[in-house]
Structures are given as structure tokens and as C-alpha cells.
Amino acid sequence: MYRFSIQTKITLPFMLLFAIIIFAIPIITISLFNRKYDEQFSVETKEWLEAIVQTNYIYEPEKVKRAYRAEVVVFGQDGSIKSSTITNQTNSLSQLAAELKVHQIQKQLKGESGDEFMLKNVTVFSKPYKAIYYLQSDGRLYCLIRPIDKIAEAKRQAILLMIGVASSGVFLVICISYLIGNNLSKPISNLVAFTHRVADGNLDIQCELTTQDEIGNLTTSFNQMTTDLRNSRDELIQVERLAMAGKMAASFAHEIRNPLSSMRMLAQMLLRPSLTEENRHQSQQYILEEIERIDLIVKGLMDFAKPEKLIRSKCDLQCVLQEITNLMEANLQHHKISLTKNYDSSIEPILLDYDKIKQVIINLLLNAIESQPNNGEIEISTKKHEGQVCICVSDNGTGISPSNLESVFEPFFTTKLEGTGLGLANSKRIIDQHGGKMRIESILGKGTQVTIEIPIESKTSQEENGKSS
């Protein structure tokens, strides 16, 4: 169903109404003018004919023409011409009775009691005339004809003039209606546009107030609504930040509680005088390992809490992946895991932060290795899809349960006996910084696939301190 704009709904009825009025007025005026003119013409012509009959001007053609600018013809009962002011049409006078329909008019006037005059439109010698007939008691028929070609031309000129005026009026009404409709609809259109922007999540905008009417009130209400939404958003963000900070603090405390407890017990053991040198050395070594573990947790937390800016450069993705797999080769061999590579060679170099992407892929490979039994399989593949470069890391390991799959990107979440639970959270943060996406698909007992999508044309400009390609 076609939807009309507000401007159209406002202007179209006014345009149609004014167009009808503007065209109706000339039509009515012309119609009334024609009727009034015909009435006046009839009365005037009748008076002329009566005067001509009474004064016998019929026998003085030149006086008739000078006085009335008309022609008079007198017919006998048999239709023959008895007298005529028409002097230059001798050869055609025989046709005059037929063109003036004399016999027909005589029958009509004789048959209509009390009516001596009759007005008709006739064509004489191929020219239009108005003719008035008068039947005398002796049977003679007087006919006065007046040319109307000039009158018809004047009427035509008047009609054309009125049509021109009406058309100009319609055009003026269209322009005025458009200006009025545009003036009314533009603030509403602006509100609609701002509404779409707010719906897209942009709450940091204010619609300009241009009128002081109902639309202005609506604009003010809209601006107040966006202000309230923005304040609510900021409050919600603050609440979420506090909740996240509390959750991270609790997770952090939980993560370091075990190594701190171990270190406390080991430190107490070192205070024992009876402790052998070997046990003392072993306890010190354990303490150092726990310190390293705490340091790793703190570093991961700092990376997550305050991520570094990307340093982008043109990178050959296949070369990056090859370097990573070379670094991981010894680890793969140790766990007896086979690695399959399926790279799309048509992928051109793209803007990446080399170190960050390397960190992400290594983390995904380590997770895949740790989930694998011996003799497991891992596949790394790349492809182009709808302006994106896709990197897939899949394994046939233990998989992730559906309940845990929803939480894998949350900080400090882990199913491992050892680990910070920040690896995937940091990895997703890095991919988000690249304008990409990361998703995980897993079936418990069958394996996991992690897919990374990075735009080929980066929306984020290269950092000023970025490496040159």
C-alpha cells in the first residue's frame, strides 16, 4: 500500500481545492456572461428590428447599416425576397431564404400564437450570425442579422485570458502549498531522521528547535527524551562498570587465593629449623612458580582492563600463520597432534596489528592443544567471504558444554585446572578493536571451532605510530 508523506497530505488537498475553485470561477463567470449577453443581445436586436419596421429604414439600406451595423431582409409569404440591405451578394440571394430557414421560421411563428419574434443562430455566406425574425400580420417576414464572428473572437480571447489567469493562479497555489507543506513537514522529517539515529544508538544528539508551535513542543519533548535516555545509559554503564569491577575483583581474588595460600604454607615450612636443604630449595622453587602465576594473572587483568592501541600494518596473513605454526611445532609434536593447513592464497595483505593477531592465534592453538587427547587433530583455514577475511581454528577435542559456551568470553571464566580465564576475553577484545567478530561453535565430545572475521577494508584508520608496510 502506497504511503503518502505528510507534506503530500497537507499540500494535495489544498492544491485540489484551490484548483477547482480557480477553474470553476472562470467557467461560471463565462457561463453567466454568455447568458446575460444573449439576453441583452436578444432584447437589443428586437428593439432594433421594431424600430426599423416602424421607420421603414428597410427601404434605406445605408441608414440601417450606419445606425445598427446590421443587415435586414424582408421575405414575402412565398419566401421570396421583397427587400434587402444586402446589396453585394446578388448572385447568392437565391440561397439566402434557405440559409435563413425562412419557410421553417414562418411555420413556427404562425403556429405559436402570440409569439411574433424568434432568435436563432444562423450561418449566412459561410459566416456566423445572430438572426431575429418578426412576422407581420400581412405575412411578411422581417429578418435582422448581426455578425457574431467578432463577438465570438472576443469571447474566445476572454476565455483564453481567464484560462491563463486560472493556470497562473493554480501554479501560484501549488508553489504556496508546497512552501507551506514543506515548512510544516520539514521539522517533522528532521524529527524522524533524529529518531532513526537515536534508534541506532546515538543518544548524544539534540534536534534543533526551529518553531514555537506544537511541533516545537514535540521537538522539546524529543530532546528531553534523548537527554533522559542518555542519562539512563550513562547510569547503566556506570552500574555495569561497577558490577564488572566487582566481578573482576572477586574473580581476581579467587584466582590469586590458591597461589597465595600455597606461598603462605611454603613460607611457614621455610621457617622450620628441621627442614632439609633439599626441601628448602624445593619450597623456594615452588614459591617462585606461584609468584610467576600471580604475575601472569595480573598481566592478563591489566591487558583486559586497559588494552593497548592497535599498531596496524599491511600483513600477509599466510606468512603470519606460518610463523605461528612454526613456533607451535614443538608443542604439537610433544602432544602428538597433527596440524592441517588450508589457506586461501588469493587473500591479499590486510591491515593488522601483527603482535596482537599473533597473540590471538597462539591463544586459540594453545586452547585447542589443551583440549586434545594424544593423536588429536587441529585445522587452520582461511577464506574470503563478503568483504571479510575468515580464520578458522578447529579441533576434535573434548568440546565445550552448551552452558559453558555462553560464558567463554567472560573474564576469569575457565574450565581448566590452571589458567587465568582471560585469554579468550582478551582475544575477543583484540578482534573487536580490528572491527571484526569472533564466534565459537562447539559440540561436547566432538570438538570446537573458533572463527575470526576481520574486514578487508578496515573502518578504523591506521594509528599514527603504526608500522609502515
Per the listing, cell 593477531 goes with 357
The enclosing domain of 105 has a CATH number of 3.30.450.20
Dihedral of CA atoms 18, 23, 26, 27 in degrees, nearest 10, equals -130
Q: Is residue 218 part of a domain?
A: yes
- Shared domain for 146 and 37, answered yes or no, is yes
SS3 sequence, 369-398? HHCCCCCCEEEEEEEEECCEEEEEEEECCC
- Shared domain for 85 and 133, answered yes or no, is yes
Boundary (domain end) residue, out of 288, 305, 322: 305
Q: What sign has the CA pseudo-torsion 243, 247, 253, 256? A: negative
- Shared domain for 106 and 227, answered yes or no, is no
Expressed as residue numbers, the domain containing 227 is 214-305
Boundary (domain end) residue, out of 266, 289, 305: 305
The enclosing domain of 221 has a CATH number of 1.10.287.130
- Shared domain for 300 and 317, answered yes or no, is no
- Shared domain for 15 and 132, answered yes or no, is yes
Boundary (domain end) residue, out of 275, 305, 335: 305
- Shared domain for 318 and 444, answered yes or no, is yes
Q: Is residue 247 part of a domain?
A: yes
Q: What is the pLDDT of residue 461?
A: 40
- Shared domain for 363 and 286, answered yes or no, is no
Phi/psi class of residue 264: alpha, beta or left (left: φ > 0; alpha: ψ in -120 to 50)? alpha
d(CA 176, CA 44): 46
- Shared domain for 287 and 318, answered yes or no, is no
The enclosing domain of 365 has a CATH number of 3.30.565.10
Q: Is residue 174 part of a domain?
A: no
- Shared domain for 301 and 413, answered yes or no, is no
Q: Is residue 292 part of a domain?
A: yes
d(CA 292, CA 117): 130
Q: What is the pLDDT of residue 275?
A: 75
Q: Is residue 443 part of a domain?
A: yes
Q: Is residue 1 part of a domain?
A: no
Q: What is the pLDDT of residue 11?
A: 66
Q: Is residue 169 part of a domain?
A: no
Q: Is residue 177 part of a domain?
A: no
Residue numbers of the chain with a pLDDT score lower than 50: 1-2, 113, 417, 459-469
Domains identified in the chain, total number: 3
- Shared domain for 21 and 80, answered yes or no, is yes
pLDDT tens for each residue of 244-287: 656 666 656 656 666 677 777 777 878 787 778 887 788 778 77
- Shared domain for 290 and 337, answered yes or no, is no
Q: What is the pLDDT of residue 68?
A: 67
Q: What is the pLDDT of residue 392?
A: 93
- pTM for the model: 0.41
Q: What is the pLDDT of residue 391?
A: 92
pLDDT tens for each residue of 136-169: 777 788 788 877 766 667 777 777 777 787 777 7
- Shared domain for 322 and 440, answered yes or no, is yes
pLDDT tens for each residue of 115-126: 567 777 777 777
Q: What is the pLDDT of residue 293?
A: 66
